[in-house]
């Protein structure tokens, strides 16, 4: 029996070693390699205040997300210390802030999103996946929201694609308040932001922060030049998501976020209320796709890629 188990373990290790998408568990992170090269890592340290992916790279290895505050890099802005890689959180859940919740920002109302368990690791020739559960916890240690998330990473010659499938439940009413500070977000590297070479383009052709911020689109792309290469990052919002198409909290300084909750900010109208309450027995499902591509939205064929993704994931 022992020899059988050993054989199975060795076979699994061999499969992972030969996989095009290799997913490996570390002490405080899960590493994802594609084609034998690092792509990203999911940071899950108990010392952190929320899980995040860092960094994100193109198929050629160019980093498209800001590396500070995790690392030092000349020329990167050191604002918004809570903007770490790519993350999912919100600035007001029953009055607790899970967005601006870095240890340096603790003022009594900051919650933390802690990793409960890594539920699945999968390596493969075409894709790999990480499954995890997280708890959104108040300063008093009370769990407000339970999150189950699956992240699927795909192998492609020129693209880097990640699918997110996020399920939220609660054991008591959890009100996600109306604030622009949320929700599915990343912080882009400085050369790619709108103050440098970057340009936001929406699914309808709207261009720039003034036409994109606070507006509703199925997808938005942020493209520019990094290390001499024309690259872009797109976020797709699934039609099955609550309040689809999402509003966009996308800024010229490099914040790139989909947020359905911040209506009074986005419309500059205090009479609007974009909040939603997650009640016990109810599950919210959010699905997003991130596409890191060469060129701009048009040359990458994002409209076609979005339609293909929606067709494939109708259920």
For a pLDDT cut of 70, what percent of the chain falls above it? 94
Angle at 287 between CA 212 and CA 278, to 5 degrees: 95
pLDDT tens figures, 95-145: 999 999 998 887 889 999 999 999 999 999 999 999 999 999 999 999 999
Q: What is the pLDDT of residue 106?
A: 78
- pTM for this model (two decimals): 0.93
Q: What is the pLDDT of residues 230-257, one digit of tens each?
A: 999 999 999 999 999 999 999 999 999 9
Q: How confident is the model at residue 17 (pLDDT cuts 50, 70, 90)?
A: low
pLDDT at 4 over 60: no
Are 101 and 112 spatial neighbours (Cβ–Cβ below 8 Å)? yes
Is the per-residue pLDDT at 11 higher than 60?
A: no
pLDDT of 75 reads 84
What are the structural domain ranges in the chain? Answer: 2-312
Mention the CATH class of domain 2-312. Answer: mainly beta
Burial class (CB in 10 A: 0-12, 13-18, 19+), 232: buried
The model's pLDDT over 283-296, given as tens digits with 9 standing for 90+, comes to 999 999 999 999 99
Name the residue among 229, 210, 207 with its Cα closest to residue 293: 229
pLDDT digits (tens, 9 = 90+) for 171-224: 999 999 999 999 999 999 999 999 999 999 999 999 999 999 999 999 999 999
């Amino acid at each position: 029996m022992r020899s059988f188990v050993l054989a199975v373990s060795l076979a699994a290790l061999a499969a992972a070693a030969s996989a095009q998408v290799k997913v490996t568990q570390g002490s405080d992170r899960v590493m994802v390699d594609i084609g034998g090269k690092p792509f990203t890592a999911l940071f899950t340290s108990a010392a952190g205040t929320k899980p995040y992916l860092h960094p994100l790279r193109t198929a050629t290895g160019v980093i498209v997300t800001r590396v500070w505050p995790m690392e030092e890099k000349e020329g990167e802005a050191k604002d918004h210390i809570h903007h770490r890689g790519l993350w999912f959180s919100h600035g007001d859940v029953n009055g607790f802030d899970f967005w601006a919740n870095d240890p340096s920002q603790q003022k009594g109302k900051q919650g933390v999103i802690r990793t409960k368990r890594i539920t699945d690791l999968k390596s493969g020739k075409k894709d790999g996946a990480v499954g995890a559960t997280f708890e959104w916890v108040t300063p008093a240690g009370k769990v407000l929201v339970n999150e189950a998330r699956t992240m699927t990473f795909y192998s492609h010659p020129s693209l880097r694609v990640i699918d997110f499938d996020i399920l939220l439940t609660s054991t008591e009413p959890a009100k996600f308040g109306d604030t622009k500070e949320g929700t599915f977000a990343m912080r882009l590297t400085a050369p790619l932001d709108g103050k440098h070479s970057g340009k936001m383009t929406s699914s309808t052709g709207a261009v720039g922060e003034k036409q994109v911020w606070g507006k509703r689109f199925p997808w938005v792309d942020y493209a520019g030049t990094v290390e001499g290469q024309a690259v872009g990052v797109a976020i797709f919002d699934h039609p099955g998501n609550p309040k689809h198409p999402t509003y966009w909290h996308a800024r010229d300084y490099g914040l790139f976020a989909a947020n359905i909750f911040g209506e009074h900010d986005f419309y500059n109208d205090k009479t609007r209320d974009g909040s939603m309450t997650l009640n016990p027995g109810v599950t919210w499902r959010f699905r997003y796709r991130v596409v890191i591509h060469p060129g701009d939205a048009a040359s990458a064929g994002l409209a076609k890629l979005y339609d293909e993704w929606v067709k494939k994931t109708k259920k």
